[in-house]
Structure formats: C-alpha cells, structure tokens
Amino acid sequence: MSTTTGTSLVRASGLRKEYGRGTGLLRAVDGVDLDVERGETVAVMGPSGCGKSTLLHLLGGLDRPSGGEVWLDGARIDGLGEKALARLRRSAVGFVFQSFHLMEELTAVENVELSALLAGRSPRESRRRAAELLDRVGLGSRAGALPSELSGGQRQRVAVARALVNEPAVVLADEPTGNLDSVATLDVLQLFDDLHRAGQTLIIVTHDARIAATADRLLTMRDGVIVDETRLTGGSTGRLGALAGLED
Amino acid sequence: MGRILLVGRLALRDLRRRPVEAALLLLAVLAATTTLTLGLVLRDSAAAPYENTRALTAGPDVVMSARTTGQLAAYGDAAGVTARSGPFPVATSTLATAGQTVDVLVIGRDTVDAPVDRPQVTDGGWVRDGGMVVEAAFATAYGLTAGDQVTLGGRAFEVAGVAVTAASAPFPATTCLGEIPCLHGVAPAGADLPPGMLRNPGLVWLTSADAGRLGVVSYVLNLRLEDPDLAATFIGSPDAPRVALSTEIRTDATEVAGDSQILLMIGAWLLGLLAVASLSVLVGGRMAEQTRRVGLLKAVGGTPGVVAAVLLTEYLLVALVAAAAGLGIGAFTAPLLADAGAGLLGSAGTPALSIPVIGTVTGVALAVAVLATAVPAWRAARSSTVAALADAARPPRRSGWLIQASARLPVPLLLSLRVTARRPRRALLAVAGIAVTVGGVYVALILDGFLSKPFAAGYTVAQVETLRRVLLLWTVILLVLAGVNAIVITLATVLDNRHTAALARALGATPRDVTAALSGAQILPALAGAVLGIFPGGYLLFEAIMGITGGDGDRATPPSAWQLITVVVMTALIVAALTAIPAHLGAHRPVTDSLRAETA
Ligand SMILES: Nc1ncnc2c1ncn2[C@@H]1O[C@H](COP(=O)(O)OP(=O)(O)OP(=O)(O)O)[C@@H](O)[C@H]1O
Ligand SMILES: [Mg+2]
C-alpha cells in the first residue's frame, strides 16, 4: 500500500488525526498509508465511527492531520495555510456530502457556479459551465429552482455538479446516498458510474455494499486503520448490474 | 469580478431571507445616523444666522465701552480701525409692561445710519422722541410689538419698532454693554444684588435726548478693524475700556443652537453605543446559524477573506442604507430644531448637508457595522471547516458557579439563571444596553427639571421649547432603540435555547415556566442595567455634559428618589412586556419541532 509510484494522484503516508488528549485521547485516523491512481475509483467502508469521514477530510484538505503526510497531484498539502487550502479545495478537490450542503438561498445553477466564481472565473463563463453540468446531471430544466424545491436525489445531483465545476483532480464523496431512498440512490449511482467511465478519480465513503461493488478497489477501515484492501474486477468496467437488486 | 458578484449576491439573498432581522438592524443603525446627522448639521448651521445678521447690519468687530467719551477717543482713530460709529450714550432702567418689570440697557441713537452697526428694523420704525425700539428677541420674550405702550423709568413710552443687531447677543444673552455689571440666569435665592447690577437685561434704543434723561452711565463705540485679530491688542492696555469681541457675541448668540447640538451629539454617541450592542447581539445570534453556511463556503473553496467579506458585506449594506436614510431624515428634521430665535436675521432655514457631514455619518455607520461584525466574522472565517459543517451552534459557555447557585431556586428563576449563565457576553450586552438607555433617561430627567424653571439657564420660553423638543426626540429614539435591543436579545436567546427549552418541557416544565424563564433571563440584566445606568452611568454622563457645555451642574437638582425608583421599575416592566412576545412564541413551539430543528 505504501509503495511510491510516480503516477499516484492522492497519496497518504503515516496519516494520523487525534482528538482530545491524555486519557481522552482518541485516534480517529491512526497511521493510514494510501495511494490512489489517476482515474481510479476507491470505496471506503467500515463501521460507524471508524474514521472514514475524518480520512476523507484529511485527503481533501478540509482538516489538518496530527501527523503523517498527504500528497495531492504531486504536491504536499498537509502543511498548507488556510488560504492555500481554500485554493486547493476549489481547484483540485470536489466534495459531495451526505447532507448535500447546498446554499439554501441560491438556486441550483447559482449553487453550481459558486465554486467557479470563487475560483475567479468570469460570471459568464461560470454560468455557462454550471448550466452545462446541470444538463449533464439531468437537471437542465430545474436550473432556477431553490434547493427547497428539489427532491433529495435532485439536490445531491446539484451537489455533484457543483463538485465538478472546476474540473477537480479528485472527487471526494462522503456517503453521497446516505440520505436518499433507493430510486434516488440509483440516480446518483448512475452519475458516479458515468464519472468513473469518463476517467474521473473518485474516493467514495459508503455503508452500501452495492455502491462499493462498482469501485476498482475497496478499503475497509476499523478504529482508524485500514484493515483490508480488495481489488474488484467488476468495478473497472463500471457494471451497474450489481445494483439490479435495488429496483424492488 | 465573479467574486464580487458572489459576495454581493450572498449578502443580498441572506438579508432577503430574514427581513425582520434586516429591519431591526436597519432601525438600530438608522437611529444613530439620524441623530448624528442632526448634531452635525446643527453644528454647521448654529453660527449661520449670526453671521448672516452681522453681514446685513454691518456688525462691529469690537464694541468698546467706557465711563467717558474721552477714554474712547483715542481708539476711534487707532491704526487698523477701518470704520466706526459712536460713541453712543448708554443708560440703565427698568421697563414695565403688562404687570411685569424687567431691567434694560438703553442705547441712545438718533439714526440707524452709521458705518458700523445698523440695526435692522423688523417691525415698525426707528426711534423718535417718546418712541423706543426693542431688540427682537427681547420683544418676543415679552410680547412687545410696535404700537405697544410701556413705561421706562416711570415715564410712558410707545414701542416705535423692533430691530435686530449684531452688536449684542439676543435676549436673554444680551451683551452687557457699558461698564455695567449684569447677571444672566437665576439670582441666588434671597441674595441682594449689588446696586446698579442688571438682572437678565433686555436691550432697547431711544433717542440720545430720551436716553440722557434716564441718566447716562457709560458710552459705547463700535469699530470695524482691518484685521479682526487686532482687537486682541485693545484688551489689557492700561486703563483700557471694556471690550466685547464679535466672536464672544457670536458665542453667546448661538448658545442655544450650540446646546441643542451638544445634546444631539451626546445622544448620537449613546445611540451609537446602543446600535453596536444591538448589532453585536444580532450578528452573534446569526453567526450561530451562519456557521454552517460558512463551513460550506469554505468547503467549496472560499478563502477566509471571501468568507469574512460575505459576512461583513451584509452589515455594510445595511449600514450604508441606514447612513443614507439617516442623512435624509436628519436634514429634513433639522429645521425643526434649528430655530434661530427671533433675535437674529434669517432662520437656520434648511441647513444643508455638507460633504464632511455626509462623510462623517457614513463613516460612523460603517464603523458601527465593522465594530459589531469584525470579531465574529474573523472568528468564523478562521474556524475549522469540518466543525463548522458538522455543527451549527457555537457551544454555549457555562459559568459553573451560577448554575450551582441556581439549583435550589423555583423552576422559572432557575431556568432564567441558567439561560443567562449560558451566554455571559450577551447578558453583559443586555446590561450595557439598558444602562446606556437609563443613563440617557436620567440625564433627560435632570435637564427637563432644569428647563422647567423659568429663565433657569438664561433661556427664553421659545429657546426652552427648542431644547425640550431636542430632549424629547432624544428620549424617544433612545427608548425605541432600547426596545429593539431588548427584542433582539430575547429573539437570540429564544433561538439559542429552543433545544434546552424543549428538553425542559419534555422533562415536565410547563410552557409558562419556560416563558417566564426566557423573559426572566432578560429582566435580571435589565434590573442590573437600570441600576448601573443611574449610578454611575447617568451621573457620569451628566457630569460629562456639564463639562463639555461649561454648564454649572450645581444649579441642577438630581431626579428625586421616587423618579429613580419609577425608572427602574418601569424598565423592568417594559422589558418584561417586550420580551414576553418572542419568549412566549419560543416557549410554545411544539417540543418535537424544536428537537428536530436541532439536527436538521
Ligand atoms: N471534532 C471531533 N472531536 C472529537 N472527536 C471527533 C471529532 N470528529 C470526529 N471525532 C471522532 O473521531 C472518530 C471518527 O469519526 P468519523 O466521523 O471519521 O467516523 P465515520 O467513520 O465517518 O463514522 P460514520 O460512518 O458514522 O460517519 C469518531 O469516534 C468520532 O467520535
Ligand atoms: Mg462519516
């Protein structure tokens, strides 16, 4: 796992995150080594509280590690300042959260163009890209709707579009279907599958074995440590067949 | 460009989503900017009527007086003197009209025409034998108009006219011309005035012959100088005549406008403080809800600078609107307060907004917004992104001793103390807000009592009315803003405590217990604030006003004990009434709603 191949896009070594101190010390992530290749889809599973979200936050520069290294696209990011991290988050990383985290006061298209505007793109270009992405996630006709006017699945698709707007090197998704019913889950899964085929690097944290089955690689965590790693053959071809059972 | 668009869009949308809060914010800043505008505009306009009068009546740079014309002779031809009139004889007398008597200074002048000091007749004509002209403010104060019959030193006179001059300040600040001592304001009770001393004298003109018959005691000489600063060299020379400079006369002439202006400026400061308190609470209360928004912005790549800009822009927008509206309202209402009085020509009219006034008001409004938002904005911008995303509310602080101390109290009081202890800083802001208000009310009470005494501070009835109006405006705005403040604080407390309140109810407290607790949590600080607002707040504020105005605080009586007790009790009652509404609404929300809202 800790082999340093030149092509890896995301790399972590000896990564640790601790909360509290003394007797209350909690090692949420406890020495993780990880390499993710460009274009690879990695699923992370494990029991609640084992440190999956924490790991994802560390990899995407949302949080700073207590120790170890994080590399993204050849650059080390664990020591970056708040401003540099912000720049990184809007250019190299796209986040998708379980609870969508859309701006309630902005319409779908405005939510999508948010990151583009933050990245300094012109209003016109941002709007064009946002509209395009909404089309791609199948929401071209709902561009002017507020999040409160959209269903959960639609909201998550808006969030995915937002994550893609700056063409990030990697998309990090934390239980993207955790709040969705099975039909909406299928929708979002189809979207991730499309991304996978298009060569987008993806790291998905999930509780759902059927999602994990679509990945190239499945990591299992327990108590802050990666305890198992499985290469999946079905994943690379992007078969959604494993999900057939969802439609009941 | 895109980022500016984004920041503006987020600020506007957020304001639109919370119209009530936006309105409260606007009101808070508006009160301060309006008062400040009034204060500044009045300062600019206070001197205008005097200068106007001076220009129209060829007012002197210096008025000299001495017992004999000989003492003045040398000065009329001194180097640097460009024009002169006089010496004119001066007498003193007592004027009786409609059952009242009043001391007067009499100047003998046969014609208005002179190179210096040409009083402008505003009613009737100029002096003639047996006909006198009365200084305009004096005439207004005693209701004299052309044609009225009066007696002067026991002889009958007719009022030939009313006129305005720049050689004396208008009644009751009449400049004591001639070497005649006079007393302005209230004489010490029971004290006998030294013989010859005039008390609140008015100014009248007679013919020289008529004045001579009253007994001339002095002479006045009006001079225009090449360089007004030269006047200083006339003072202090050996056996110098008495000198009144035009600058001194102007100071006396504009005293009321000046006093109004000082009151307004102090009011503006108080309101500014209140506005900062209101804003801090609103911003602080909203920061809690905004944390998630901030986390989200940061997660998608907003730098701390962008996040701070988004948070600040909202308040800066409100401040700008408040500044513009305050400037408008202030300029519009200023003429009501800038009554120049009858003694000067050309009322203050519509005092114009000058660039410095606009700049100052806008600057102060922006400063208020920045002051109230900078700290929370900075803190939010720096906070951990993950924590912000995960959890909306700032964890309340706990003051352990307060919570322990409250354990044995009845339920509502216990809950109130706990609610207060959860947010010590907000409780402090509440105390400060009430203290500022009560301090202002304390001073208003003293000043009002002071103004109720006739001629108390040497003001005329009309001037007292003007000052009363200023005081009333002051008090009303202060009370409104304090009310806004109380509601804002309760709202924030209700929002903050909905979870606790729901839990308390889930565990058996009645909605009434919770309402009582939430509103009690406001009354405790209100009581503390009311007491502190009287002492040291109001006391120090009054001393400060006296210090600035050069007033004599000893002449004012402090409010009586019952007045103070009423103020404290009323404060508590009003706060209770104002806060009961949001508290009641908060307490009656369905329990499950509140518990669910927390996790949504
Ligand atoms: N801010 C924090 N302070 C203290 N402990 C924390 C904090 N955030 C997370 N933890 C702890 O770190 C551990 C890992 O949390 P994490 O959220 O990464 O788990 P997870 O695997 O994502 O769980 P889930 O599947 O329930 O989302 C947990 O024990 C959690 O309690
Ligand atoms: Mg998680």
User: Could you report the per-residue pLDDT of A177-224, keeping only the tens digit for each?
Assistant: 888 888 888 888 888 888 999 999 999 999 888 788 889 999 999 999
Per cent of chain A over pLDDT 90 is 55
How far, in Å, CA of B545 to CA of B332, rounded? Answer: 26
Say yes or no: B580 and B593 in one domain.
Answer: yes
Out of B359, B392, B425, a domain closes at B392
CA of B286 to the centre of ligand 2 (A): 27
Yes or no, beta carbons of A117 and B2 under 8 Å apart = yes
Using a CB cutoff of 5 Å, list residues around ligand 2, an ion. A 53
Q: How confident is the model at residue B132 (pLDDT cuts 50, 70, 90)?
A: very high
Query: Does B222 share its domain with B270?
Result: no
CB-based contact B386 A57, cutoff 8 Å: yes
**Angle at the Cα of A133 (from A131 to A136), degrees rounded to 5?**
115
Helix (H, G, I), strand (E, B) or coil at B66: strand
Residue found by looking up tokens 């991290």 in the block: A85
Please give the helix or strand (H or E) that residue A209 lies within, else none. helix A209-212
Measured distance CA(A65)–CA(A11) in Å, rounded: 14
Find all residues with CB under 8 Å of B455, minimum gap 6, and list them.
B172, B185, B186, B200
B149 and B278 inside one domain: no
Last residue of a domain, which of B392, B415, B435?
B392
d(CA B417, CA B139): 62
Are residue B69 and residue B14 in the same domain, yes or no?
no
Q: Which whole-number Å values give the CA distances from A191 to A50, A56, A164, A185, in the listed order?
A: 27, 20, 12, 10
Whether the CB of A135 sits within 6 Å of ligand 1: no
- Verify that B447 and B582 share a domain, yes or no: yes
Q: Are residues B348 and B465 in the same domain?
A: no
Same structural domain for residues B281 and B401? Answer: no
CA A190, CA A243: separation in Å to the nearest integer?
Answer: 10
B354-394: pLDDT as tens digits? 888 899 989 988 988 887 777 777 777 777 777 777 654 34
Q: What is the number of the ligand closest to the CA of B390?
A: 1
Rg of chain B on CA atoms, in Å: 31
Q: Does A174 touch chain B (CB under 8 A)?
A: no
Q: Is the CB of A19 under 6 A from ligand 1?
A: yes
State which residues form the domain around B576. Answer: 395-600
Token pair 């191949």 in the structure block, residue: A5
Q: What is the number of structural domains in chain B?
A: 3
* B63 plus B197 within the same structural domain: yes
Residues B6 and B100 in one domain: no
Query: In this structure, are B279 and B420 located in the same domain?
Result: no
A104 neighbourhood in chain B, CB within 8 Å: 17
Ligand 1 and A17: CB distance under 6 A = no
Residues B328 and B300 in one domain: yes
Ligand closest in space to the Cα of A173: 2
The verdict on ipTM greater than 0.90 is no
The 10 Å CB-count burial string (b at 16+, else e) for A199-211 is ebbbbbbbebebb
Q: Which residues contact B325 (CB under 8 A, 6 or more apart)?
A: B26, B30, B33, B34
pLDDT digits (tens, 9 = 90+) for B530-571: 899 888 888 888 887 777 666 655 666 778 888 888 888 888
Distance CA A54, CA B440 (A): 54
Q: Are B571 and B530 in contact (CB under 8 A)?
A: yes
Q: Which amino acid is at B66?
A: A
Decide which of B392, B426, B445 is a domain's last residue: B392
Same structural domain, B235 and B128: yes
Q: Taking a C-beta distance cutoff of 8 angstroms, is the pair A207, A175 a contact?
A: yes
- Shortest Cα distance, chain B CAs vs residue A246, angstroms: 27
Distance from CA of B316 to the nearest CA of A (A): 19
| Chain A residue with Cα closest to B384 | A63
* Inter-chain CB proximity B9 and A82 less than 8 Å: no
- Interaxial angle between packed helices A108-118 and B2-17, expressed in degrees from 0 to 180 and rounded to the nearest 10: 140
State how far the Cα of B278 lies from the Cα of B273, in Å rounded to an integer: 9
Strand B216-225 to B62-66 pairing: antiparallel
Q: Identify all chain B residues contacting A166, using CB atoms and an 8 Å cutoff.
A: 301
Where do runs of H (alpha helix) occur along B300-384?
Answer: 304-337, 355-382
- pTM of the entire predicted model: 0.69
- Separation between Cα atoms, residue B131 and residue A83, nearest integer Å: 86
pLDDT in tens, B152-177: 888 899 999 999 888 888 887 788 87
* Ranges of chain A whose pLDDT falls below 50: 1-5, 235-248
